[in-house]
Structure 1
Amino acid sequence: MTKRILENNANKKPFMQWLFLLLGPCVMLLTCLVEPPVGMSEAAFKTAGLAFWMASWWVSEVVPIPATALLPLVISPIVDIAAIKSVAAPYAHPLIFLFLGGFLISIAMERWGLHKRIALKTMLYAGKKPSLQILAMMLVTAFLSMWMSNTATAVMMLPIALSITHLVKSSDPSNEGFGKALLLSIAYGASIGGIATLIGTPPNALMAAYLSDSYQIEIGFAEWMIVGVPLALGMLLISWIWLTKFTYKVDANVQANKRIDTKAVFSSQLKDLGLMQRAEKGVLFVFMLAAICWIFRPLLGDVTGLKISDTGIAIAAALLLFVLPANKGSDARILDWESAAKVPWGVLLLFGGGLTLASQIKSSGLADYIANMIEGASTIPLVMSILVVVALITFLTEITSNTATAAGFLPLLGPVAESVTGSPLVWVIPAAIACSCAFMMPVATPPNAIVFGSGEIKMKDMIRAGFVLNIVAIVLITLVTMTIAAQVFGF
């Protein structure tokens, strides 16, 4: 994840910083001193105070988001919400280790440049047509983001895109639209690609862990891909059409004799990488092995009789990278601890804090209290309720961290959805997906911020292109939830 997730938002005014810094603790203190509302237990009332405290710090980022995730370890035992053992347990949830394994595989890819080689090899075949060059950029970004951090993917793809943008500008200075469309394709491709797998983006993993912990509903890697891949492909196709045919009309704006053959650019960059090293081949082998095992895990379990888990596959793949030699006759390994230490530990802490909060919302009775309060919502048509939830989360994520949004809201949506619709999946799944579908603002997602930071994109460009895609995402997520997801997960 980007520094935005790990650092304070330094540009907030001091008054607002102090307001948000003190508001949460004051509300928490109030819940400890005042009698709870009728029908609500003391534990539930205090949990509501803790949830408000964490949400206010997560939204305002006056304290680093991962640091806020540690609050339950201190507060919950002190105010007698739960014992320290039960509070600490979710910080070691199996799905946190699934994400850890995914992080380690992606770090190995970055260390040896495999991700860049995959990108350049793909882009070699993009041809001269601007819209197809943008499609190739979007597809390769999305594919890498399925398995790597979307931040790392965007950071790696940005220099490649900028080299093309500058080349086009030097040939045809009047054609700014192509460069903007190309850069936005990276931001949108990285966010959309992450939807396709459980390890592609933190909200997906948080959703799976929450459902497993709170409702004993297990979502497998392959199961999720049945829902995530078609949705991602649909969003990619629509995003590409919107960017290249309507927003910028890149083919119409470039004269045939001024079209740039980018093959020479990519060939040069690929040549700089040199021949594929043994370490790269090793990473590719482990990556493909892990992906195959994730996809066919149920079949492998049936054939071998072994209790194979997605988490076990991820950690086994990571361990294999620590064992395999980087080069023939060398003691160096494909992955060493110095490289592994680059894991974004803050994201894993955020998972733990979110899962702990979710567990306490359920165990304290707060979930039931909230569900009973809005029983009347069951009269709203199902499709309309999903549409409203997705819209709220999509536009909320424009101004807050998508991971923090998932951590704070999924535990609240689950019990209400169960009460209103009969299944927590009906709202939790689309809400988790919506957390990754904010396309308007630079602060909405790390890829948006990275592309905006290039200086080639203005705020109005992102809002102009992103607003329509937000609306498209809201409609498409609702449709996929009502059709594919309903069939796969049986709700």
Structure 2
Amino acid sequence: MKFSHTLQFNSVPDWAEHYIAYSNLKKLIYQIERDIISTSIDARGDTETAQPTEETFLLDSKTRANTIFIPALDKELEKITTFYVSKEKEVFEETEKLLADVAYVESFETLPINIPSRRNFSRSFDSSDSLNQILKKPTRQRYSSGSAGSFLSSDDDEHQLNSPVNDETNLLEISYHHNPQLTEDEQRIYHFWSNPLIEAERIRLKKRTTEVYVWLSELKSFVSLNHTGFSKILKKYDKITNSTQIKSSYMTNMVGEGYPFKKSSRQILDEHIRHMEEIYAKLCTFNDIKAAAKELKTHLREFIVWERNTIWRDIIGLERKSHGVGIKAHPTVEELEISKIETPFGEVNVSAEYWKTAFILTACTGVFAILLEARIFKAVEVRNCFALLVFSSLLWATEVIPLFVTSLLIPFLVVCLRVMRSNDELHVRLDAHDATRDIFAAMFSPVIMLLLGGFAIAAALSKYHIAKMMATYVLSKAGKKPSWVLLANMIVATVASMWISNVAAPVLCLSLIQPILRNLQSNSSFGRCLILGIALASNIGGMASPISSPQNIIAIKNMMPQPSWIEWFIISIPLCILADIVIWIILLWNYKPAETSLLIHPIRASRDPWSNTQIFVCVVTLITIVLWCAEKQLEFYLGDMGVIAILPLVLFFGTGILTKEDFNNFLWTVIILAMGGIALGKAVQSSGLLAIIAHQIRDMVQGFTVWEVLLTFCTLVLVVATFISHTVGALIILPIVAQVGDSLGDDNTSYRNLLVMASALMCSAAMGLPVSGFPNMNAIMMEDEMGVRYLTTKDFLKTGVPASILTMLLVVSVGYVLMHLFLGY
């Protein structure tokens, strides 16, 4: 984990702004690096030979860099010291008060107890007394009602504090009888603490001791984290400036002499922590310091777990919000306007966005109601299914409600509208019970299990940084020439999309090019070219394997017989390579990066050794892929690719490589979306609507050749998938394409698989707009350090539109030939 993340996740939330500003200092280092590089190149004048190394041109501006960076460090050190001094004063004062109260309670030597005034006692307590002298007073503790050596938890203490005296006495009696071997002094302690007033005081002191201990521990962690932060940021600075002196001198002369980091300050803090352990031992563990330390650490661990869970939830919430911003455009001023409506229940505030959503939803529902009553088809089930098809398509296309919610609505409407028919020759409408059984049986198909297996492989490759290690290795070989760096990044994005999906791949690849982007000039076109190339290549990677995108999963569901992985690879990989080359040429033509980018920061390959876990993940992944490729030969034993997908799920989750948290992080919305699409396809087929639509389309294309039909469908898919989600386009169109493909052939030949696979490939190739697929959405949101976006819609129009058209031409030409050769026509 990066230290910036470690600092974020381990800091005390309320103290967050008082820790070292590690991320800001790191950005300052990168700015210094960029300025030094630019200054060096300008000074040399010869841009052809001015290639950066770790030992040239950086040393010339070291003094200037120090005058910028060292004051920033001094400012952070002063901020940390000021905060630490104030917090130390607070916690030490609380410690002194706690010690005074402990001494006050332990001043009662006889029973019955005559309690003096707390105010008078506090005045008589000399705060200058040694803490150790106070802690030498006799102990007055007791065991809890359990086995010897066990103690009451804080929950038990809370119950005791609010319990009647009789319950308290009974509890103490149980404790006493369970520990008959108590010494005379311990028996005296038992009688002392049996007084309810003393017992209540003990519980309060215990809680206060725990709180102060946690506070002191957090202060100690504050010092440790900041010390590590200074060490790491100085190490990074020395690496950038090729210096070996700044870190050692600053850590020794400045950080080491800072009050929080002095040895004496740490010793005082440790001494106070030890005193809390001693107080807790007097209160709860019969002066057993080790047991007291163990219990206090347990309390500290529980507190940290609760606090970190809160932090994680906040961070995840912010991350989800940021992803939401990346997918949905920022609201306009009109959308943010609030109107007030008077109702019998009071005044309600309604935004313009709400009115827009309500209008679209009402319009879709109105169309649905009209189609249910329209006499477009004779059979009721066909009419109802057509209304359902249009209604679902409208909801998916407008995204007025989340896509997966629409998918969840489909089986409900299928059953209520009774659109399912029996599979026999009579085609009788099924009742609700039989329709429910059939529609749910269809939704969880082997294809869904294949999708889960793909998610498991992607999660393992990403979690253990295997994909990143492989990617950095390839990129390290690209050198510094802009055109080759661009091509290498595009190939990495395409290959990564094959195995970790075209949703996760652009996120990974865009994070890998940050060192390149940081060192480019602000007006360099190569940054835009590189980001756009990764986005378009990730879209192309969605074609590459059956698990690289949801539309491929939907296509396999509609293909009969289902193609093997080898057949898919033989067709898709040549198309991906050609499409990447075509896009690469378009990008070089449009942006001419060689003319504007004089310096490319090379990406270094990861030197971390391979762990046994990483090797195991790779082996399981390779075995799974081989079995998928050989599925046709193993069909008698394994039945389907979905059964093979169980292998990585069992091996990864069964061995603990992936956890239930990883399972919960699967893209379940995509799975539900695919299941809804399968349910809709099943309903359209069972009702007879699919056959009617396919028959009408066949009449429209009568006289067309198979290639002309292919071109027609590819053009339709390209237009539709450019404006709506690729997966949604596949859900709507592919079942119709499959039925038309069956009608074009004869008894021995079917063009179903050809048309379906080509249409699925075109779904991934639709990349003309920023909303055309997640890779484009992610790319359009990329910003530089000043918060300015690298790309605009114009960039996608001038590159994405021609790339989509040329990719379509590749599919209907090279792809058509390959599918004719290898899909058995």
TM range (shorter): 0.7 to 0.9
> Does 2:389 correspond to 1:51?
yes
More deviation in 2-11 or 192-201? 2-11
Name 1:451's counterpart in structure 2.
779
> Does 2:725 correspond to 1:391?
no
Equivalent position to 1:236, from 549, 555, 580: 580
Equivalent position to 1:223, from 567, 592, 602: 567
Structure 1 Cα separation of the partners of residues 799 and 412 of structure 2: 44
Deviation string 1:278-318 (CA, Å, 9 cap, x unpaired) is 3222222222222222223345x28xx63353222222022
Correspondences of 1:160-179 after superposition (within 5 Å): 160-169=512-521, 173-174=522-523, 176-179=524-527
Equivalent position to 1:403, from 709, 727, 750: 727
Structure 2 Cα separation of the partners of residues 414 and 128 of structure 1: 47
Correspondences of 1:52-71 after superposition (within 5 Å): 52-71=390-409
SS in 2 for 1:148: helix
Name 1:336's counterpart in structure 2.
659
Structure 2 Cα separation of the partners of residues 148 and 447 of structure 1: 13
> Does 2:460 correspond to 1:108?
yes
- Residues 48 and 366 in structure 1, CA contact (< 8 A), matched pair in contact too: yes
1:436 positional shift: 0.6
Name 2:541's counterpart in structure 1.
193
> Does 2:358 correspond to 1:358?
no
Structure 2 Cα separation of the partners of residues 49 and 196 of structure 1: 35
Name 1:330's counterpart in structure 2.
none
Structure 2: segments with no counterpart, 5+ residues: 1-319, 336-352, 421-434, 783-788
Q: Are residues 5 and 355 of structure 1, via their aligned partners in 2, closer, same or farther at CA, if it must alter by over 3 Å?
A: farther
Equivalent position to 1:280, from 608, 614, 620: 614
1:5 positional shift: 12
Deviation string 1:54-97 (CA, Å, 9 cap, x unpaired) is 00000000010011011222111111112111111222110110
Structure 2 Cα separation of the partners of residues 185 and 355 of structure 1: 33
- Residues 631 and 640 in structure 2, CA contact (< 8 A), matched pair in contact too: yes
Q: Are residues 46 and 450 of structure 1, via their aligned partners in 2, closer, same or farther at CA, if it must alter by over 3 Å?
A: same
Equivalent position to 1:204, from 541, 552, 569: 552
Q: Are residues 8 and 259 of structure 1, via their aligned partners in 2, closer, same or farther at CA, if it must alter by over 3 Å?
A: closer
Structure 2 Cα separation of the partners of residues 219 and 112 of structure 1: 31
Structure 1 Cα separation of the partners of residues 536 and 780 of structure 2: 12
Deviation string 1:191-241 (CA, Å, 9 cap, x unpaired) is 111211100111011011123xxxx42222222111111111111111112
1:36 positional shift: 4.2
**One-letter code aligned to 1:188:** L
SS in 2 for 1:69: helix
> Does 2:648 correspond to 1:317?
yes
SS in 1 for 2:638: coil
Q: Are residues 131 and 10 of structure 1, via their aligned partners in 2, closer, same or farther at CA, if it must alter by over 3 Å?
A: closer
- Residues 555 and 756 in structure 2, CA contact (< 8 A), matched pair in contact too: yes
Correspondences of 1:86-97 after superposition (within 5 Å): 86-97=438-449
**One-letter code aligned to 2:670:** V
1:180 positional shift: 1.3
Correspondences of 1:1-12 after superposition (within 5 Å): 11=331
- Residues 44 and 364 in structure 1, CA contact (< 8 A), matched pair in contact too: yes
Q: Are residues 10 and 79 of structure 1, via their aligned partners in 2, closer, same or farther at CA, if it must alter by over 3 Å?
A: farther
Structure 2 Cα separation of the partners of residues 114 and 338 of structure 1: 19
Equivalent position to 2:696, from 350, 373, 376: 373
Structure 2 Cα separation of the partners of residues 259 and 295 of structure 1: 43
- Residues 72 and 87 in structure 1, CA contact (< 8 A), matched pair in contact too: no
- Residues 327 and 777 in structure 2, CA contact (< 8 A), matched pair in contact too: no
Q: Are residues 210 and 4 of structure 1, via their aligned partners in 2, closer, same or farther at CA, if it must alter by over 3 Å?
A: farther
SS in 1 for 2:519: helix
Structure 1: segments with no counterpart, 5+ residues: 325-332
Tell me: higher relative CO, structure 1 or 2? Use CA pairs within 8 A at least 6 residues apart.
Answer: 1
**One-letter code aligned to 1:349:** I
> Does 2:799 correspond to 1:462?
no
Structure 1 Cα separation of the partners of residues 682 and 705 of structure 2: 29
Equivalent position to 1:429, from 757, 782, 785: 757
Q: Are residues 384 and 4 of structure 1, via their aligned partners in 2, closer, same or farther at CA, if it must alter by over 3 Å?
A: farther
1:9 positional shift: 7.9
> In angstroms, what is the RMSD of aligned CA positions?
2.4
More deviation in 339-348 or 416-425? 416-425
1:16 positional shift: 4.3
Aligned residues: 460
- Residues 631 and 641 in structure 2, CA contact (< 8 A), matched pair in contact too: yes
Name 1:152's counterpart in structure 2.
504
Name 1:99's counterpart in structure 2.
451
SS in 2 for 1:266: coil
Q: Are residues 357 and 485 of structure 1, via their aligned partners in 2, closer, same or farther at CA, if it must alter by over 3 Å?
A: same
- Residues 321 and 334 in structure 1, CA contact (< 8 A), matched pair in contact too: yes
SS in 1 for 2:680: helix
Q: Are residues 29 and 5 of structure 1, via their aligned partners in 2, closer, same or farther at CA, if it must alter by over 3 Å?
A: farther
Q: Are residues 261 and 64 of structure 1, via their aligned partners in 2, closer, same or farther at CA, if it must alter by over 3 Å?
A: closer
Q: Are residues 198 and 4 of structure 1, via their aligned partners in 2, closer, same or farther at CA, if it must alter by over 3 Å?
A: farther
1:6 positional shift: 12
Q: Are residues 314 and 4 of structure 1, via their aligned partners in 2, closer, same or farther at CA, if it must alter by over 3 Å?
A: farther
**One-letter code aligned to 1:75:** L
- Residues 367 and 416 in structure 1, CA contact (< 8 A), matched pair in contact too: no
Name 2:814's counterpart in structure 1.
480
Deviation string 1:113-156 (CA, Å, 9 cap, x unpaired) is 11111111111111121111111111111111101121111111
Structure 2 Cα separation of the partners of residues 91 and 5 of structure 1: 31
1:372 positional shift: 2.8
Name 1:328's counterpart in structure 2.
none
> Does 2:823 correspond to 1:489?
yes
- Residues 139 and 189 in structure 1, CA contact (< 8 A), matched pair in contact too: yes
Structure 2 Cα separation of the partners of residues 87 and 379 of structure 1: 37
Deviation string 1:249-287 (CA, Å, 9 cap, x unpaired) is 223444xxx33350xx425xx35xx43333222222222
- Residues 154 and 450 in structure 1, CA contact (< 8 A), matched pair in contact too: yes
Q: Are residues 415 and 292 of structure 1, via their aligned partners in 2, closer, same or farther at CA, if it must alter by over 3 Å?
A: closer
SS in 1 for 2:456: helix
Structure 2 Cα separation of the partners of residues 395 and 373 of structure 1: 21
More deviation in 306-315 or 188-197? 306-315
- Residues 36 and 42 in structure 1, CA contact (< 8 A), matched pair in contact too: no
More deviation in 414-423 or 442-451? 414-423
- Residues 495 and 541 in structure 2, CA contact (< 8 A), matched pair in contact too: yes
Structure 2 Cα separation of the partners of residues 347 and 408 of structure 1: 15
Q: Are residues 426 and 339 of structure 1, via their aligned partners in 2, closer, same or farther at CA, if it must alter by over 3 Å?
A: closer
What TM-score does the superposition give when structure 2 sets the normalisation length? 0.53
Name 2:11's counterpart in structure 1.
none
> Does 2:594 correspond to 1:251?
yes
- Residues 575 and 815 in structure 2, CA contact (< 8 A), matched pair in contact too: no
**One-letter code aligned to 1:198:** P
Structure 2 Cα separation of the partners of residues 367 and 22 of structure 1: 27
Q: Are residues 16 and 481 of structure 1, via their aligned partners in 2, closer, same or farther at CA, if it must alter by over 3 Å?
A: farther
Equivalent position to 1:25, from 330, 347, 365: 365
**One-letter code aligned to 1:243:** L
Correspondences of 1:300-311 after superposition (within 5 Å): 301=634, 306-307=637-638, 309-311=640-642
Structure 2 Cα separation of the partners of residues 5 and 290 of structure 1: 36
**One-letter code aligned to 1:181:** C
**Quick one: percent identity of the two aligned structures?**
25
- Residues 119 and 140 in structure 1, CA contact (< 8 A), matched pair in contact too: yes
**One-letter code aligned to 1:410:** L
SS in 2 for 1:195: coil
**One-letter code aligned to 1:161:** I
1:387 positional shift: 1.7
Which is greater in Rg? Answer: 2
Name 2:281's counterpart in structure 1.
none
Q: Are residues 29 and 108 of structure 1, via their aligned partners in 2, closer, same or farther at CA, if it must alter by over 3 Å?
A: same
**One-letter code aligned to 2:464:** W
Equivalent position to 2:411, from 38, 61, 73: 73
Deviation string 1:312-352 (CA, Å, 9 cap, x unpaired) is 2222022111233xxxxxxxx21111112110111111111
Structure 1 Cα separation of the partners of residues 383 and 359 of structure 2: 22
